[in-house]
């Protein structure tokens, strides 16, 4: 693959000599050969020119679900990775919510092999407990040796605090990352949306913020006792931000993420009973959104995620109470986040998180393999159902105004345009 990118504005805060500079970038056989103010056209090199072309390091998403194995009707790994590439993501962490769940080393090997050769690289998580049932620890060490980057019972509360304690202690032997979903299942009860004025007016059972915050407080106390590495995925409340901020000031090795839809939407959107807005954790209030945005800006929240979760129409086109949780979000991630933050902040967030999961970080330097997302940040457009290449169409961003578009991805000596 020989490509010449012309007049690309580079967004790379890590390199002050290149950041926000316009440069030509020559890539030969997947390697960045030259970065210069001007590079003359070359034979056997494909020249790419776009209006308002911007380039950054490839983007990273820490929470992506597909369906294979077990739920291929939602999304196969092959098509899911093609969607991720089209969305500008060079690396994704694959959630452990398949059937069967990946709780052995052979499961991890299968997921890695199914991802081979794709433009986007996939890094699987293993489940924390056998069959994600919360009873016995899964084969953490064996899965780690086979390539699992973290251990997580996807969207399942760890109800047994001693199990989390043992997991954090055990994983320290190989520097493993343990994840705990922030929701107390007993306090959640039969709740399905945020508990508050909206849930009361709509007659929907509520999930109080306490369900999230109590679980986080418990997990942080356990982490302080055991040591180890803990990641709390997709927080959603203002007090959760405060709890994690205090823990970081204590020096605890804790990180957290937030789903993009949880910083952009509130539970006011539920008035139409659109099941695409039924997600876990639930959409909260304006006060929570404001605190989450502040947490992103001050670094309390380490990174954002699309929390991409395909669901077929049979699981969504039902009564709100009976609908499955989840929304897809890879294809709308950049345009949605870019409406809320400026482009530099957006790119900084979309390129963060690899180190926490032990994923190799790319570099925008001559002699390095090219791992670049191409985008333009200024066009305003409305996301429609036809804009999605995902097999499932459960996207809460349908009909929403977005800003900026992905133009392509260069990675693994391949290009997607």
CA 151, distance to chain mean position in Å, is 15
Using the CB atoms, write b or e for 275-313: b if 16+ within 10 Å: bbbbbbbbbbbeebbebbbebbeeebbbbbbbbbbbbbe
The interaxial angle of helices 209-226 and 238-250, nearest 10 deg, is 10
Residue (of 349, 338, 348) closest to 401 by Cα position: 338
Distance in angstroms (rounded) separating the CA atoms of residues 163 and 374: 44
Q: Angle at Cα 76 formed by Cα 65 and Cα 264, nearest 5°?
A: 35
Q: Which two tokens stand for residue 380?
A: 């305003």
Question: Which one-letter DSSP state was computed for residue 341?
Answer: S
Beta bridge partner(s), residue 244: none
Residue (of 256, 230, 217, 101) closest to 171 by Cα position: 230
* Sign of the C-alpha dihedral computed for residues 274, 276, 282 and 286 taken in this order: negative
The interaxial angle of helices 333-340 and 343-350, nearest 10 deg, is 130
Distance in angstroms (rounded) separating the CA atoms of residues 247 and 295: 14
Residue 69: is the preceding peptide bond cis (ω within 30°)? yes
Residue (of 292, 294, 300, 215) closest to 260 by Cα position: 292
Tell me which residues are annotated as active site.
307
């Amino acid at each position: 693959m020989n490509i010449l990118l012309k007049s690309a504005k580079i967004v790379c805060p890590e390199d002050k000599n290149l950041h926000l500079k316009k440069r030509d970038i020559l890539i030969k056989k997947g390697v960045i050969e030259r970065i210069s103010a001007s590079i003359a056209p070359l034979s056997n090199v494909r020249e790419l020119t776009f209006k308002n072309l911007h380039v950054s390091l490839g983007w990273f998403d820490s929470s992506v679900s597909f369906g294979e194995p077990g739920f291929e009707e939602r999304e196969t790994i092959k098509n899911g990775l093609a969607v991720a590439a089209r969305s500008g993501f060079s690396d994704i962490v694959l959630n452990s919510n398949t059937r069967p769940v990946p709780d052995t080393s052979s499961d991890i090997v299968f997921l890695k092999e199914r991802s081979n050769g794709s433009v986007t690289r996939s890094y699987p998580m293993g489940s924390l407990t056998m069959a994600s049932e919360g009873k016995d620890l899964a084969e953490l060490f064996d899965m780690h040796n086979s390539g699992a980057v973290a251990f997580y019972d996807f969207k399942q509360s760890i109800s047994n605090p001693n199990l989390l304690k043992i997991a954090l202690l055990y994983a320290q032997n190989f520097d493993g990352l343990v994840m705990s979903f922030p929701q107390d299942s007993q306090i959640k009860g039969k709740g399905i949306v945020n508990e508050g004025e909206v849930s009361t007016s709509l007659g929907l059972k509520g999930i109080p913020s306490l369900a999230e915050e109590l679980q986080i407080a418990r997990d942080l106390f356990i982490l302080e006792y055991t040591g180890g590495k803990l990641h709390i995925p997709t927080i959603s409340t203002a007090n959760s931000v405060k709890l994690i901020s205090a823990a970081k000031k204590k020096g605890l090795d804790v990180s957290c993420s937030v789903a993009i839809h949880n910083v952009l939407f509130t539970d006011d959107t539920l008035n139409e009973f659109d099941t695409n807005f039924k997600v876990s954790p639930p959409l909260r209030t304006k006060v929570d959104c404001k605190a989450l945005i502040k947490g992103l800006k001050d670094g309390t929240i380490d990174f954002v995620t699309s929390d991409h979760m395909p669901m077929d129409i049979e699981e969504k086109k039902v009564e709100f109470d009976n609908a499955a949780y989840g929304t897809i979000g890879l294809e709308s991630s950049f345009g949605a986040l870019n409406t809320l933050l400026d482009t530099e902040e957006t790119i900084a967030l979309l390129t963060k998180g690899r180190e926490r999961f032990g994923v190799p970080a790319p570099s925008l330097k001559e002699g390095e393999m090219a791992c670049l997302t191409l985008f333009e940040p200024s066009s305003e457009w409305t996301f429609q159902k036809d804009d999605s290449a995902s097999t499932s169409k459960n996207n809460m961003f349908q009909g929403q105004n977005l800003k900026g578009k992905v133009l392509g991805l260069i990675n693994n000596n391949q290009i997607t345009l």
